[in-house]
Structures are given as C-alpha cells and as structure tokens.
Amino acid sequence: MNTRISVQLGDVGATLTLFDELAPLAAHKLLGVLPIDAELRHVRWSGETGYFLLASLAEPGAQLENAVTFYPRGSLIYRPEHGEFAFTYGQAQARDNVKLADHACLLGALEENAEPFLELVRKTRTEGRQPLRLSGS
C-alpha cells in the first residue's frame, strides 16, 4: 500500500502519495526524516520544476529506483546524488550543467489539491522561493 504524506507550500496544502512498492528504499529514507521544513526554489537546468535539497539524504552513487529521465507533471522526483527533491509543474527532465539527460527516481505523485500546489511551484520562478513543509498525514 502506498503511503500518503502532507505537503504544505506557502499557504497551499496538498497530499502526496509515495510509491513505496516502486521505490521502497527512497520512500523509506524520506519517511525517516519527516517532518521536513525547507524552501522550494525553481531549478535552473531541468525545466519546469521546483526543488529543495536535503543534505542528509544525499547519497552519491546510490542505485536508482523507478528511474525516469522525463519528470511527469505533478510528480515528486528524487535525485540521490544531490539529495534533491523536486515537484514538477510542466515539461522537465533530469539535467544539470554537465549532463543533458540524466536519470532520477520517480518517488511519488501529488493527489489532493494538486493544481493550486503546482501553480505555486510555477510561481517560484517569478515570485521567488516558498517555504515548504512535508509531514506524515
């Protein structure tokens, strides 16, 4: 059974389903550090996505679970090499200053209240970073 957690971005709340069966290790690691308070900011290389970093979950060389290169809209993406978690509101791909196409773990998907949440992620590009909180539901 997939685990659901709560996410709060600015004044917009939503629920997120973690793909426990497809990415059990990554999901377990994330659940182990909840609750999380961070700041979501817009990416510079990967497209229409906002991200935050968790240094404690940075694990260079870790095996990727449920690997994707293109990020589905509304998804939660985990890049273990950076300890990076990203919410995607549009067209996006795992990229950085070196690689034009990399892979990342598709860890979860927004469910309830996804659209207002993604709209606020989109606004981080023009209005700046937003406070983010992830907690067990």
Partner 1 sequence: MAHPKPAHHSATVDERSLFPSRPRTKHCGTGVEVPDPFGPCRREAAVSCSHKPSLDVHRVRPWGQVPQIVLTQIVCHGMLMTGGAKRPCCVPPDWHSELTRLHRGYPMTKSLHIRVGDVVGELHLWSEMAPKTIERLESSLPLDGSLVHCRWSGDACFTELDPELFKGVGLESAVRSLYPLTVAIRPPSGLLNSAELLISYGVAEYRLPTGQAQVTPIGEFIGDLSKFRDTLAGTALRGATTIGLRASASGPS
Out of 56, 63, 69, 91, point to the residue binding partner 1 (CB under 8 A).
91
Is 95 a binder of partner 1 (CB under 8 A)?
Answer: yes
| DSSP output for 52-90 | EE-GGG--TTPPPSSEESBPPTTEEEEETTTTEEEEEEE
Span of 16-24, 77-85, 95-103, 110-118 interacting with partner 1 by CB under 8 A: 95-103
Is 73 a binder of partner 1 (CB under 8 A)?
Answer: no
User: In a 3-state reduction of DSSP, which class is residue 103?
Assistant: coil
How far is the C-alpha of 97 from the C-alpha of 34, rounded, in Å?
30
Is 125 a binder of partner 1 (CB under 8 A)?
Answer: yes
Out of 5, 9, 27, 48, point to the residue binding partner 1 (CB under 8 A).
48
Least distance in angstroms from the C-beta of 96 to partner 1 = 9
- Cβ-based nearer residue to partner 1, 5 or 130: 130
Out of 42, 52, 77, 88, point to the residue binding partner 1 (CB under 8 A).
42
Residues 24, 104, 83: CA angle, nearest 5 degrees: 80
User: Structure tokens of 116?
Assistant: 């207002």
- Cβ-based nearer residue to partner 1, 21 or 127: 127
- Residue 102's alpha-carbon distances to 39, 46, 67, 68, 76, in angstroms, are 24, 10, 10, 8, 16
In the complex, the residues that contact partner 1 under the rule CB under 8 A are 41-48, 91, 93, 95, 97, 100, 124-129
